[in-house]
Amino acid sequence: MADKVAVVTDSIACLTKELVEQYGIGIAPINLYFGGKVYKDWVDMTPDQAYELFLKDPKAFKTSGSNPGDWYKACREASKQAKDILCVTLSAKLSGVYNGALEAKERLMAELPHLSLEVLDSQMATAAEGFVALAAARAAEAGKSLAEVVQAAKEIRDRVNFYAFLDTIRHVYRTGRIPKIAAQAGALLNIKPILTMSSGVVRFLGAVRSKQGGIERMLKIMKDRVGQSPVHVAVMHVYALADAEKLKERVASEFNCVELWISGFSPVMGYATGTGTLGLAFYKED
Query: Of 110, 125, 157, which one is at a domain's C-terminal end?
Result: 157
pLDDT digits (tens, 9 = 90+) for 14-46: 999 999 999 999 999 988 888 888 888 888 888
How far, in Å, CA of 160 to CA of 138, rounded? 16
pLDDT digits (tens, 9 = 90+) for 61-96: 887 766 899 999 999 999 999 999 999 999 999 888
pLDDT of 169 > 80? The answer is no
pLDDT given at position 172: 62
Q: Which domain holds residue 245?
A: 161-284
Question: How many independent structural domains does the chain possess?
Answer: 2
- Residue 18 and residue 115 in one domain: yes
Q: Once rounded to an integer, what is the mean pLDDT over residues 179-189?
A: 54
Residues 6+ apart with CB under 8 A from 104: 28, 68, 69, 71, 72, 75, 87
209, 211, 217, 222: CA torsion to nearest 10: 160
pLDDT of 1 > 50? The answer is no
pLDDT given at position 25: 98
How do strand 31-34 and strand 37-40 relate by DSSP bridges? Answer: antiparallel
pLDDT of 183 > 80? The answer is no
- Residue 128 and residue 268 in one domain: no
- Residue 94 and residue 145 in one domain: yes
- Residue 264 and residue 147 in one domain: no
Q: Once rounded to an integer, what is the mean pLDDT over residues 226-231?
A: 97
- Residue 131 and residue 241 in one domain: no
- Look at residue 226 and tell me if it is in a domain: yes
- Residue 203 and residue 263 in one domain: yes
How do strand 31-34 and strand 61-63 relate by DSSP bridges? Answer: antiparallel
Q: Is 42 exposed, middle or buried (0-12, 13-18, 19+ CB in 10 A)?
A: buried
Query: Of 157, 172, 196, which one is at a domain's C-terminal end?
Result: 157
- Residue 71 and residue 172 in one domain: no
Q: Once rounded to an integer, what is the mean pLDDT over residues 198-216?
A: 90
pLDDT of 181 > 70? The answer is no
Report the CATH number at residue 115: 3.40.50.10440
Could you give the percent of the chain with pLDDT greater than 90?
67
- Residue 172 and residue 228 in one domain: yes
How far, in Å, CA of 192 to CA of 210, rounded? 7
pLDDT band at 179 (very low <50, low <70, confident <90, very high): low
Q: In whole numbers, what is the pLDDT of the chain averaged over residues?
A: 90
Is pLDDT larger for residue 190 or for residue 89? Answer: 89
Query: Of 126, 157, 188, which one is at a domain's C-terminal end?
Result: 157
Closest to 262 (Cα-Cα) out of 280, 250, 275: 280
